[in-house]
Structure formats: structure tokens, C-alpha cells
Amino acid sequence: MNKIRAAITAVGGYVPDYILTNKELETMVETTDEWITTRTGIKERRILKGNNQGVSVMGIAAVKDMLAKSGTDPKEIDLLIFATITPDMTFPASSNVVATAIGAVNAFSYDMGAACSGFLYALATGASFIQSGMYKKVVVIGGDKMSSILDYTDRTTCIIFGDGAGCVLLEPTTEDEGVMDYILRSDGSGETYLHMKAGGSRLPASHETVDKRQHFVYQEGSAVFKFAVTNMADVAAQVAERNGLTADSITWLVPHQANKRIIDATASRVGITEDKVMMNIERYGNTTAGTLPLLLWDYEKQLKRGDNLILAAFGGGFTWGAMYVKWAYDGTRVRH
């Protein structure tokens, strides 16, 4: 019998309506549209406004979009994994909130925190449940409400992030397609350069932590840049090489959207041209766990069965990884 693989059979996404432009950021911090555009490639990002609007709002909208497009019955979902570092609350898991809101009454669900690599980690995990033969329908969501943990007085950090969420449905196949291979890595010494100081069990919230602005993303941008640029490119090249993929046979590079200069370096390392690189950084910025599924959502109609995709990410932890996915359906069949 042929090996069971996990195929991506549907994609969903959601970005909030509010657009925070570089021009508006110019009125908030000492920056310019020109600096942000040339240093990062970002022109605007989406922000989830309103009271009581957690990341689950975007996760629910993304999954509903996917269910409607694919005609999937939520009662058939076995498992839902939500990759996020900005859950609605420390507990319960935002995945529990999403599963109940969409009517996935037969599913169990949990969150996964691996920052910008969260979606890749969750996709690998979800695929393993399918490959084992245990489950038939697994939903993997990646999304973050980064605006909830950004210091809008820190010009190097606040300009790169935005809010958004995307998701995929994984189902078993015995065809030679779906999640083919991946390399996932982590290195906890990266904590020095990218973390949030307070609000966890090491330094719980207090007046002092609020006064010291410790509930925001702390990032030493240029140090993170150096790690990202080499590590993400290395694993993307390794996963391509060990599967015999060349610049010609890779149809799309699907890179984490942190900085256009990192994306360009990864593309050049894998040897592929810009027309084969999925990119939406100029419209959404860095949505952390949301970047990869939002790329698949934006490019879904252009994808064809048999396309070879290399997904790659790098983020807090440090965490990083790359995955080879052989696409399992034609974008033209998608109902909108």
C-alpha cells in the first residue's frame, strides 16, 4: 500500500479592514515612508481595532472562509491547531475558542507557540497526525494580533509588524503529493535578541512591568536580521537539495515576510528569480505566524496541482525551518 501523506486541500484567510500606512506611522514615531520602504519593503499593515477583539476573531474568520470555499462540514474536523504567540488569553487556548465558534464539536484543539515559525511547526505536527492514519481532517491556523504587543514608541520594531491570520485543511492522500519533507530547528540562546520580558511566569505583570514597558516585543533588529538571513536560507536550500529540487523545478518559494531583504537573500541562495517568490509584505507587513498561510491564501488561484513549493520561516526562539510541499489541487477549482 502506498504511504499516506498529508495534502493541503483548502486554504482560508482573514486580514482586518484597518490599514496602518507608513504615512500614518510618520505621525506616530520618528520615521519616514522612504526609510521603511527601502529597509523592509513594507508599505502598509492591517490592524485589528475594537474592544475585546483577540486573535481568535481572525482565526474564526479565516477558518469560516476555508470551510465555505471547500464546502467542508465542521463536524468532520478531528483536530485544530492554532499557531500564535498572541492568544486571546494565557488560557484557555485560542484554538478551543475557534473550534467551538466554528462548530467543530468533534475536534480537539490546542495552541502552538513558535513565533514566526509557528505555522511551519504546526503544519508538520498536523501532517504527522494525518500520516499516522489517526485523523482525516486537521485544520492548521497561523495568526497573530501583533498590534497587542507592540510598543508604538519603538520605531525599529513597531514598523514591521501587523495583524492577520490564515489556515489550511490537511487531508490524507496516497498520491505522491502534500507535505513531502521538512527541516525544523530551534536555538533558545536567541532569547537575548527577541523576546517579551514580562507577562509570563518568570516576570508576571505588575505596576512596575507596565511602567517599564516590558509587555511589548523587544527586538535587536540587526542581530536578528543576521541570524534570519543565514539560517532561513540554509534550511530552504537544504530541503530543496535533499529532495533533488533545482531552481527550475521549484515552482514557488513561500518565505516568511519579515523583511524584503531577507526574502531576497533566501531566494538568491535557493537560486530562484523574484517572479517565483510569493510576497505580500508590502500590504501586510510581518504577521508572525500568519505570514505563510496568508501567502497561500493570496496566491491560491495561481497554484496548480503538482507545483513544488518551498516554505521557509525564521523567528523568535530562535526557531526556523523549511518545508517541501507538493501542491494537491488546481487553484482554478476554488469556489469564491
Catalytic residues: 116, 256, 286
- Give residues 139-168 in contact with ligand UT7 (rule: CB under 6 A): 155-156, 159-160
- The minimum distance between CB 118 and ligand UT7, in angstroms, equals 11
With binding defined as CB under 6 A, does residue 27 bind ligand UT7?
Answer: no
Other CB atoms within a 10 A radius of the CB of residue 188 amount to: 9
> Which one, 90 or 222, has the nearer CB to ligand UT7?
222
- On whether the CB atoms of residues 33 and 159 are closer than 8 A, the answer is no
Contacts of 40 (CB under 8 A, 6+ apart): 159, 160, 259, 260, 261, 281, 285
Figure out which of the listed residues 47, 85, 116, 303 binds ligand UT7, where binding follows CB under 6 A: 116
**DSSP notation for 87-152:** -SSSSS-HHHHHHHHHT-TT-EEEEE--GGGHHHHHHHHHHHHHHTTS-S-EEEEEEEEGGGG--T
| 104: alpha, beta or left? (left if phi > 0; alpha if psi -120 to 50) | beta
With binding defined as CB under 6 A, does residue 258 bind ligand UT7?
Answer: yes
- The minimum distance between CB 129 and ligand UT7, in angstroms, equals 27
Task: For residues 96 and 152, give the distance between their C-alpha atoms in angstroms, rounded to a whole number.
Answer: 30
> Which one, 181 or 264, has the nearer CB to ligand UT7?
264
Stretch of residues binding ligand UT7 (CB under 6 A), selected from 31-39, 123-131, 174-182, 304-312? 31-39
Cell of 331: 487553484
Other CB atoms within a 10 A radius of the CB of residue 330 amount to: 13
> Which one, 35 or 108, has the nearer CB to ligand UT7?
35
Nearest to 8 by CA among 98, 138, 107: 138
- Give residues 279-318 in contact with ligand UT7 (rule: CB under 6 A): 286, 314-315
With binding defined as CB under 6 A, does residue 86 bind ligand UT7?
Answer: no
Most distant CA atoms of the chain, gap in Å: 62
- On whether the CB atoms of residues 205 and 179 are closer than 8 A, the answer is no
> Which one, 216 or 314, has the nearer CB to ligand UT7?
314
> Which one, 193 or 297, has the nearer CB to ligand UT7?
193
- Give residues 173-232 in contact with ligand UT7 (rule: CB under 6 A): 221-222, 224-225, 228
Figure out which of the listed residues 18, 19, 31, 128 binds ligand UT7, where binding follows CB under 6 A: 31
Residues near ligand UT7 (CB under 6 A): 31, 35-36, 39-40, 116, 155-156, 159-160, 221-222, 224-225, 228, 258-259, 262, 286, 314-315
